[in-house]
Chain A
């Protein structure tokens, strides 16, 4: 899997938007950008994914740079329950390799 770079940790206030950045300068044309998160003492949980266009779902939004070398996961209104480790992962569209490789991710702290 192509490499991604994320900050080790971030802090945000409850009920404010959170922007979690991810750099992936070596992304290939067929790589999808996936985000997962891991709440404390739980298994990883899918959040969102995209290829080129920005994406929205009930959990979050994904903003993808025009050159696709970076992306931002946006939590529109953070709650205490959003405190988790967030993983930005590239998945190769033409690659038979189907495993997910987790990095260290960004640990998001939410302040009440």
Chain B
């Protein structure tokens, strides 16, 4: 069964450093998303991406965040200068079509720890 793959599974970084979280969505999917989940809290929407541009972003997704689909297969989330409060699980998701009766497929997540 096709799946969304995320790497690394766990990343530890120092405050102020840049991190890039990587995702390989399902190959024929067209819509891509990043979510985060701080320990013990809800899964929060960060950004949606379609046709090589951001469709929507949340208030959390400020200038420190960026997304890219550099080569037609990978989908990356970059945090320019990490803060302690960026520590969370980050989930990538993809969908085939933008209609409301299709499901999103989520990856297993990257645990980001900022020290």
Which parts of A38-91 form the interface with B (CB within 8 Å)?
A: 38, 42-46, 49, 51, 91
* A92 within 8 A of partner (CB): yes
B101 touches A97 (CB 8 A): no
Could you tell me the dominant secondary structure of chain B's interface residues?
strand
Measured CA separation A49–B99 after assembly (Å): 13
Taken residue by residue from 74 to 108, chain B's Cβ proximity to chain A (1 for < 8 Å, 0 otherwise) reads as 00000000000000000101010011110111111
Kindly list chain B residues whose C-beta atoms are within 8 Å of the C-beta of A101: 45
Q: Are A46 and B42 in contact (CB under 8 A)?
A: no
Report 25 cross-chain contacts, Cβ distance below 8 Å, ordered by A residue: A32-B101, A38-B43, A42-B108, A42-B109, A44-B93, A44-B106, A91-B100, A93-B99, A93-B101, A95-B100, A96-B98, A97-B56, A98-B31, A98-B56, A98-B98, A98-B100, A99-B33, A99-B48, A100-B45, A100-B104, A102-B35, A102-B43, A102-B44, A102-B45, A103-B42
What chain B residues lie within 8 Å of A98 (beta carbons)?
31, 48, 55-56, 95, 98, 100
- In the complex, the chain B residue whose C-beta lies closest to that of A32 is B100
Q: In the assembled complex, how far is the CB of residue A102 from the closest CB belonging to chain B, in whole angstroms? A: 4
Number of interface residues of B (CB under 8 A): 25
Query: A-side interface residues toward B, CB under 8 Å?
Result: 30-32, 34, 38, 42-46, 49, 51, 91-93, 95-104
Chain B CB within 10 Å — which of A42, A97, A98, A102 has the most?
Answer: A98
| Extra inter-chain contacts (17) besides given A43-B108, A92-B100, A100-B45, CB under 8 Å | A31-B100, A32-B100, A43-B91, A44-B93, A46-B105, A51-B101, A91-B100, A93-B99, A93-B100, A93-B101, A96-B98, A98-B48, A98-B55, A99-B56, A100-B93, A102-B35, A104-B42
Point out residues on B near A: beta carbons under 8 Å.
4, 31, 33, 35, 42-45, 48, 55-56, 91, 93, 95, 98-101, 103-109
A-side binding surface: helix, strand, loop or mixed?
A: loop
Looking at B31, B33, B103, the one whose CB has the most chain A CB atoms below 10 A away is B103
- Chain A residue contacts of B107, Cβ below 8 A: 43
Residues in A neighbouring B55, C-beta threshold 8 A = 98
